[in-house]
Amino acid sequence: MTDVSATPAPAATSERPRGRSFGKIALRWLLYIVLGLFALYYLMPLFVMLTTSLKSLEEIRTGDLLSLPRELTFDAWRTAWSEACTGIQCEGVKPYFWNSVMLAVPAVLISTLLGAMNGYVIAQWRFPGANIIFALMLFGCFIPFQVVLLPMARMLGLMGIAGTIPGLIFVHVIYGLGFTTLFFRNYYVTIPVELVKAAKVDGAGFVRIFFAIFLPLSIPIIVVSVIWQFTQIWNDFLFGVSFSQAGTQPVTVALNNIVNSTTGVKEYNVDMAAAIIAALPTLLVYIVAGKYFIRGLTAGSVKG
């Protein structure tokens, strides 16, 4: 005999998954809305900077801060790049921008290569005192910038590179070495030691193992190191203003001079255009390689 009263049970159970899936979808959309609002909030200053840089001074004085430009004009961008007054002399951020390029590119490459070799030695070539050396390098990461200003200025003077771009490169390489060593050491401890032993058996030495085996495996952590160092070096102001002179100052120092200029009429559109020009390289780096930065940071988190 078949019990007819038990037949509606499957319909009741089938409604529960639908209710759960609808709740998950609603929570997901709520999360998207909240994240979208936060994104709009944090992007608002960038929107104001961009719209202000595309307005004329007259429109800035009479218009609304959040309004779109009534008439697009790129005069402020041309002025910021080539004719903005710094208070000392009238020139734009162009020469200082290229100073930052000549400073950041070699400093990033050198500190990344040295950090990779340090991490390789500490992680794979065990020697007495390796952990102590690594701890001391980590300690250097937490030393405030202000503490090293006077000793570093003295050292640059003794080396004869004070006030030069090579001097700034030296400063940033030394200060960033602790961070790059930390990145590569934590990544290299996840690589099996047996790989090094097998390479030794085949006759490979220290340099060949590093360049032929470890360096090709290091793309994720190299991206992390490059993004980290480039951002720190490009955005640095304290070292740039302390260890440079006229003609070798980075773009952050020029931007400060332009914004704080008190000669003539205050040109807010020029200030905003110069700020965007100074921020464009780091912004582009994060847009292009941002996802690889997160992957590289978590790549060495399994062990070590």
Residues 203 and 140 in one domain: yes
Residues 59 and 175 in one domain: no
Residues 85 and 61 in one domain: no
Last residue of a domain, one of 76, 93, 128: 76
Rg over alpha carbons for the chain, rounded to the nearest Å, is: 27
Last residue of a domain, one of 76, 101, 129: 76
* CATH number where 190 lies: 1.10.3720.10
DSSP letter for 78, please: H
Domain count across the chain: 2
Residues 72 and 93 in one domain: no
- pLDDT tens digits along 51-84: 999 998 888 888 777 788 888 888 889 888 885 4
pLDDT over 60 at 206, yes or no: yes
Contact 116, 215 (CB under 8 A): yes
Classify residue 304: in a domain, yes or no: no
The CA-based angle 90-235-183, given to 5 degrees, is: 155
Classify residue 199: in a domain, yes or no: yes
Classify residue 271: in a domain, yes or no: yes
Question: Comparing 91 with 47, which gets the higher pLDDT?
Answer: 47
Question: Comparing 298 with 89, which gets the higher pLDDT?
Answer: 298
- pLDDT tens digits along 227-279: 999 999 999 999 999 998 888 999 999 888 887 775 667 788 888 999 999 99
Handedness of CA 270, 284, 249, 239 (dihedral sign): positive
Domain around 9 = 4-76
Alpha helices in 142-248 (DSSP H): 149-159, 165-188, 193-201, 206-209, 219-235, 238-242
